[in-house]
Amino acid sequence: MPRHTPAPLRRWQAVLILSVFAVAVTGAAAAGWWYARESTPAQGPIVLISVDGLHPDELRAYGAPASRAPAIDALAADAVVFERAYAHSPLTLPAHASILAGQLPFEHGVRDEAGFALKDEARSFAELLRNRGFDTGAAVSSFLLRPESGVAQGFSFFDAEFPAPAGRHAPVVERDGARTMEAARRWLEGRQGHRFFLFLQVDDAAAESSVASLVEALRNRGLYGQATIVVTADRAETGAGLSLDEAALHVPLLIKQPDGQGAGRRVTTPVQHIDLLPTVLDLVHAPIPSGLRGRSLRPVMDGEGGRLPDRPIYAETLAPMFRFGGAGKFSLTTPSSRLVRGSRDEFVDRAPGDAAAAAASGGAGAEELRGELDRLLEGRTVTPPADIAPAEEDQFAALGYLGVAPLFDTEPEPLEPQEEDQVMTAHHAAAVLASQKDYPGAIAQLRSIALAHPRMAVVQYQLGMLLGRVGRVGDARKAFAAAAGVEPDNPYIPIAVAGLFLRARQGEQARQPAALAVALAEHHDGRARAGAHEMAVRVALALDDFEAARAHAEAVERDDPALPMRLVVSARMLYAEGKYDEALTGFEQAAAAAKEHGRAVEDLDLHIGQALARLDRSAEAEEHLRNELRAFPRSVHAYADLVMLYHAANRDADVEKTLSELTEALPTPEGYETAARLWVSLGEPSRAAAVKADARALVRRQALALR
């Protein structure tokens, strides 16, 4: 039977733990100042290598029985080896944001891999070292670390060029590590001096060759001896990002110092990714920004007597929350225990019966860790992710992310670990199938989840979106109704329903859900209000109700001034009156305003292209229609206008190519029906008949798959 410590004693223990923690932090800061004052600053290059999915057990330095990475093993022999280093997230982007910014996820704001970016105010590795005179360059292999993720800030050179897709079934989400290494090496060999910082991110398969190539490049320039090289992993397991256990978070960490200082030393004290930034700044004698929770690791790197205070290490994953409406997870780890908070708390004794380990962690038990986790998370609200750009939907789907409407406030359904794994597996499969445009397969996977967990509103919403994409309007409405049954006050559901009707060219039926969305959004934030009124603008324009469109456009800009909807509505009115020159000016002004705020407005380039075509400026019209398709790849109107533009110019090869692109981008009834209609208008009834036959076969296959 468990024994409970009396409340006064527990409070005394908590006060003691916090006091010891404060003294330890002060001591660590003092020790870091002493080492910085007494030592010579590192003057050579600094290289940070992050390997996705590199587990410590793969390396000889961590006990691997055979060497599969001799170059990394050789580097480890010249380095300080940290036996117990931990990541703060099992997800690639949040983990790298913590590495580069030296902050925990709730501080830098990157809570998942889609819809989040590192805050501009975060002071990153690159920015801080550039301020100390270092040239800064990076090369990455993951789509998740593209410049739009925010991790490129502070780098003078940031290479994230991904090859064009090989076909419609293969959205590109990573590139071969050899290409990444080639870009990094070219940049490195172009440096004139020795004072530079290079960040390299590759996957596990490219780790050995990348380290070997980098070491060779440094040796060839006589820089290896004076270089500081950090090798770690963003996470130890590549996967769904559900787990906060040892297998996911325990990562290798090797720090090779100039002149081989500390070579062969092994550190058993638990350390964390946010310690890397203050450590490197300490090595170059740069000021360490105030407010960082990490500590310099130099006390244990430079001398046998150095010590670091143990402290609980924080990690989180919000993947279940944002992907399918599950519970987020938060953890604290000490040398002897781990607390994981999800739909329920799980306390793991990591060293049962080990008195020494328990003593080293201050004897922190479940209650103490719960209290510390409560303090860390107090007042930390979870901001919903931004919308995924339509141009990136397939890439994120290939990585397991379908996207959700924000503001789902329902308490997540408690799931047993096995159930959660099943949901995540099915959901990830659905996302991957959607990225390959196998929409019936994706729908089947989502339906299996919805059948087992009908109150998962996020899944019902995603199901409605995919059903709408394949033209199953009635089934989509049922899925949205199921989501609304769980979230009756959520305005994003009627916004989606209104969009469903607009896509089906049922403008009148879109009025009611658009009005409902506006009414519900009044009780939510500015983002919801702007989104609801923007949909109402689109519905009003589809019905040529310009007065209503103007009123809703003004409401949009009250909540989101970055959306130039009044200019769009005014230009649409001029276009309807045949005043194409004036309409073009209005559309271009709207486009300039949107670009200034980094926004992409659906149909804006389409309208510019249409106005230019009316003015016989075909080359410019083509450019803007292509821009529309780059930003919104499923715009059937842009495809249709391009086809007619090419037909008018007798560009028959481009007509055929564009119609083929249309059915590849939209292998749905809508895509095929549009292509068939265009062939008819071009005077090609036999081609239209062939496309219609393909459409009928597609509908039959989908009907069978969706039974």
17-54 residue pLDDT tens: 444 344 444 444 444 444 444 567 777 899 999 999 99
What's the pLDDT band for 360 if we cut at 50, 70, 90? very low
- Tell me the three state secondary structure of residue 252: strand
**Dist CA 463 CA 483 (whole Å):** 10
Instruction: Evaluate if residue 167 carries a pLDDT over 60.
Output: no
Paired tokens of 492: 């994003």
Paired tokens of 699: 């509908």
Predicted confidence at residue 694, as pLDDT, reads 87
Q: Read off the DSSP letter of residue 310.
A: -
Instruction: Evaluate if residue 682 carries a pLDDT over 50.
Output: yes
Instruction: Evaluate if residue 10 carries a pLDDT over 60.
Output: no
Predicted confidence at residue 19, as pLDDT, reads 45
188-192, 567-571, 647-651: least confident range: 188-192
Average pLDDT, the chain: 89
| Contact of 195 with 258, CB cutoff 8 Å | no
Cβ atoms within 10 Å of 220's Cβ, excluding its own: 10
| Contact of 46 with 257, CB cutoff 8 Å | no
- Give the closest residue to 528 by CA, choosing from 589, 487, 470, 584: 487
Instruction: Evaluate if residue 367 carries a pLDDT over 60.
Output: yes
DSSP letter string over 171-234?
---B--HHHHHHHHHHHHHT-SSS-EEEEEEEEHHHHHHHHHHHHHHHHHTT-TTT-EEEEE-S
Helix (H) or strand (E) holding 137: strand 135-140
Cβ atoms within 10 Å of 689's Cβ, excluding its own: 13
What's the pLDDT band for 237 if we cut at 50, 70, 90? confident
Q: Read off the DSSP letter of residue 267.
A: E
Instruction: Evaluate if residue 489 carries a pLDDT over 70.
Output: yes
Exposed (0-12), middle (13-18) or buried (19+): which is 557, by Cβ within 10 Å?
A: middle
**Dist CA 340 CA 69 (whole Å):** 33
219-233, 295-309, 430-444: least confident range: 295-309
Task: Give the type of residue at 408.
Answer: F
Instruction: Evaluate if residue 225 carries a pLDDT over 70.
Output: yes
Predicted confidence at residue 254, as pLDDT, reads 98
Predicted confidence at residue 567, as pLDDT, reads 97
Cβ atoms within 10 Å of 598's Cβ, excluding its own: 8
- Exposure string over 193-202, b if 16+ CB within 10 A, otherwise e: eebbbbbbbb
Q: Give me the mean pLDDT over the 267-292 stretch.
A: 94
To 10 degrees, what angle do helices 7-38 and 366-377 make? 60
543-554 residue pLDDT tens: 999 999 999 999
- The torsion region of residue 265 among left (phi > 0), alpha (psi -120 to 50) and beta comes to beta
What's the pLDDT band for 349 if we cut at 50, 70, 90? confident
What's the pLDDT band for 411 if we cut at 50, 70, 90? confident
- Give the closest residue to 159 by CA, choosing from 132, 137, 178: 137
Paired tokens of 701: 């296959």
Domains of the chain: 13-164+174-307 (3.40.720.10)
> Scanning the structure block, which residue is given the tokens 């975060």?
122
Q: How far apart are the first and last CA of the chain?
A: 53
Instruction: Evaluate if residue 409 carries a pLDDT over 70.
Output: no
Instruction: Evaluate if residue 464 carries a pLDDT over 90.
Output: yes
